[in-house]
Structure 1
């Protein structure tokens, strides 16, 4: 019989402590650097309203970019996964609050589901 060990970690996001359960042996890094680029793993918000999920996911992207020495204005490409492409326009309006002209290249893919019942997952590549 195998057991899974979970640790509850406080996460500081937008000035409020959120608690998320994380497995101790995650099979990915938040980001990796190679060739002067930063590659982020997909970031999700806690399931809820689309605007809250997008804000939380992009808040996590911002925090990771900052810790890696980069920022939104250095992002060159974005991949977005949505469980409901009918929310594309709503997502796009929220997205424009974080990224400015010239926008990074972007791909948006409709998917049947995402981990932890999220509705949006966002990953980026940025210049260091």
Structure 2
């Protein structure tokens, strides 16, 4: 097991956990919220939050020599399931713009609250052949 918690373009975890861990051919990426290095402010709009999180996941993947097409599982935690269509629009665009034709498996769960008043948190698992 190799701790990959070194990506400087993504904020440090806000708790006692690793940003990502590499286990053989698997990269496990902890849940990402829309906090940013260059701004302490989290946008109110869930579409913007989703874009920020997916960009952070892409940065973590690339740092570990993985690509978006290597993502095999996504877990989404959302504070208002009625906003899922907005998330789906950004999510679909993210994968299709990166030439992914087979979407990863996914779960989406409504939760009562998320860290730093985020509306969404996304975690990912990738596998490299």
TM superposition score category, shorter chain reference: 0.7 to 0.9
Gaps of 5+ in 2: 1-7, 35-41
- Unpaired runs of 5+ residues, structure 1, are 1-10, 14-19
- Does 2:24 align with 1:35? yes
Where has structure 1 moved over 4 Å in runs of 4 or more? 20-23
Matches within 5 A, 1:40-119: 40-45=29-34, 46-99=42-95, 100-119=100-119
The alignment's TM-score, normalised by the length of structure 1, stands at 0.78
Is the alpha carbon distance of 1:21 and 1:48 closer, same or farther for their aligned partners in structure 2, counting shifts above 3 Å?
farther
Supply the distance in 2 between the matched residues of 1:21 and 1:30 (Cα, whole angstroms).
7
Mapped contact 1:47–1:119 kept (Cα < 8 A): no
The answer to whether the Cα contact below 8 Å between 1:37 and 1:126 also exists between their aligned partners in 2 is yes
Using the alignment, how far apart are the partners of 2:19 and 2:104 within structure 1? 20
Task: Give the CA RMSD over aligned residues.
Answer: 1.9
Q: What is the TM-score normalised by the length of structure 2?
A: 0.78
